[in-house]
Amino acid sequence: MLPPRRLSRELAERAGESVRIAGHLEEYRALGGVAFALVRDGSGTTQVTLKKGTTEPAMFTVLEGLARESVVEVEGTVLRSEKSRRGVELVPSRLEVLSAAEVPLPLGVVDKVPAELNTRLDHRVLDLRKPAVRAVFELRAELLAQLRAAFVRRGFLEVETPKLLRQGAEGGATLFSVDYFGTPAFLAQSPQLYKQMLIGAGLERVFEIAPAFRAEPSDTVRHITEFTSLDAEVGYVTDPDEIRGLLEGIVADAVDASREALTASGSPLAGGLPKLPRPFPRIPFATAEGWLGRPGAGRDLSTEEEKAVGERAVREYGSPFYFLTDYPTVVKAQTFYAWRRDDDPATTGYFDLDYRGLEIASGGRREHRLEPLLANLRAAGLDPARFGSYLEAFRFGMPPHGGWGLGLDRLVQALAGLPNIRESRLFPRDRYRLEP
């Protein structure tokens, strides 16, 4: 007899067999001499059919008084049924209530009436039982697996860097402070400095998938306080397009492989994963400013401007993914580790990877020479003395290098077509939410 785990998907192949399933009671309906109980597990919903005269009467009594979303275990025989959603039904010989749910439910799981996002997040355990919500995290898990595989194929080493730091990588305005045994410390907003130090250590190609934290008081559909950052750093690169090519290949390979795997598993989100033409378009920042009618404005794009550029980029190139390249130094002034072009110091080797106007990743070539790096720190208003451990890596031979940071939550939001980034995390954190 098969164990009661994710069995619903297999029942069509088990006609005539005795099986045991377990899951949440989604619905119970009694129609004269026949009753139907829908039992949902992680792979789908099974119709359990009870018939008066053949089914033990006590089963009717138990199910009639049982609240929806209670957990039951059912043992019985699988029979073919043209009226059932899956083409089979389970005729029970044994029923056990493993856990009874309280009533009323604070959030419907299969109800047609939609709930507000805050209500869903307040009762996230119930919300995650919805198949459509579960599909988002199956997509997320598949993307993570395929991203890791794409990195490994390219010779990257997965690393872990500290999340408790003495200083931030991008200044102190968006740092969460903590008391570290009486010493001020901060939650990591980025592993940037450690990635570069590892290149100096000779690891050459590293990546990390880990939480990051930003104390930004943003109440938008694309910002959250705790997020998952996918960071990579590559040694011995001097052309920013080498870095873009690696990022492009890893993202495209992961999306293609995820689409194939999710199609095979029957995920409702598989069809929404785009087939990505390569190479992704490269759009200079100055070109984007021209499209917006604000050449040389000397500032980054606003959210609305990013959306307008995204619409134009898709029309012009037919690709949802595209790079914004050659960011002006004035826009990246606080990014002290960004390499300024020797032939044009007003321009960096930095870029963004966007999806239809949503920034997914940012990166570029880093400054590997000590003196220019020190000058960049001072120009950003930062004291080099606070970056002693970081700067030591540059004092004893640092290869030219570059890399990127990619927001996994935004990538999932984009590919799943979610209106709010909070839906891409199991238990999201923003400026108002610390639970569940």
pLDDT in tens, 249-304: 999 999 999 999 999 999 999 998 999 999 999 999 999 999 999 998 889 999 99
Whole-prediction pTM:
0.92
Count of residues for the chain?
436
Mean pLDDT of all residues in 43-62: 93
Residue 321: enclosing H or E segment and its boundaries?
strand 321-325
Q: CB-based contacts of 402: which residues, under 8 Å, 6+ apart?
A: 233, 234, 237, 240, 242, 243, 339, 349, 363, 364, 365, 366
Cα–chain-centroid distance for residue 316?
28
Distance CA 69, CA 41 (A): 11
For residue 43, pLDDT over 90 is answered with: no
Q: What is the pLDDT of residue 8?
A: 59
For residue 159, pLDDT over 90 is answered with: yes
Task: Please identify which residue in the block is written with the tokens 């130090």.
Answer: 197
Q: What is the pLDDT of residue 225?
A: 96
- DSSP, collapsed to helix, strand or coil, labels residue 365 as strand
Q: Using alpha carbons only, how large is the chain's radius of gyration in Å?
A: 27
Q: What is the pLDDT of residue 321?
A: 97
Distance CA 107, CA 120 (A): 7
The pLDDT mean for the chain works out to 93
Q: How far is CA 307 from CA 101, 315, 357, in A?
A: 45, 12, 4
Structural domains for the chain: 8-99 (2.40.50.140), 131-424 (3.30.930.10)
What percentage of the chain exceeds 90 in pLDDT? 86
Q: Which of 87-91, 131-135, 170-174, 185-189 has the lowest mean pLDDT?
A: 170-174
- DSSP, collapsed to helix, strand or coil, labels residue 76 as strand
Q: What is the pLDDT of residue 169?
A: 62
> What secondary structure, in 3-state letters, does 6-67 show?
CCHHHHHHCCCCEEEEEEEEEEEEEECCEEEEEEEECCEEEEEEEEECCECHHHHHHHHCCC
For residue 193, pLDDT over 80 is answered with: yes
For residue 7, pLDDT over 70 is answered with: no
Distance CA 269, CA 155 (A): 30
What confidence tens digit (pLDDT) does each residue in 341-374 have? 999 999 999 999 999 999 999 999 999 999 999 9
Mean pLDDT of all residues in 22-30: 95
For residue 111, pLDDT over 90 is answered with: no
- DSSP, collapsed to helix, strand or coil, labels residue 431 as coil
Mean pLDDT of all residues in 61-70: 96
Task: Please identify which residue in the block is written with the tokens 């995650």.
Answer: 128
Distance CA 121, CA 137 (A): 15
Q: What is the pLDDT of residue 179?
A: 95
Distance CA 21, CA 73 (A): 6
Distance CA 272, CA 417 (A): 8
For residue 81, pLDDT over 90 is answered with: no
Distance CA 144, CA 23 (A): 27
Comparing CA positions, the residue from 252, 231, 189, 174 lying closest to residue 366 is: 231
Mean pLDDT of all residues in 119-136: 96
Instruction: Please report which confidence band the pLDDT of residue 9 belongs to, taking 50, 70 and 90 as the band edges.
Output: low
Comparing CA positions, the residue from 13, 144, 138, 123 lying closest to residue 78 is: 13
Q: How far is CA 216 from CA 208, 222, 390, in A?
A: 23, 12, 25
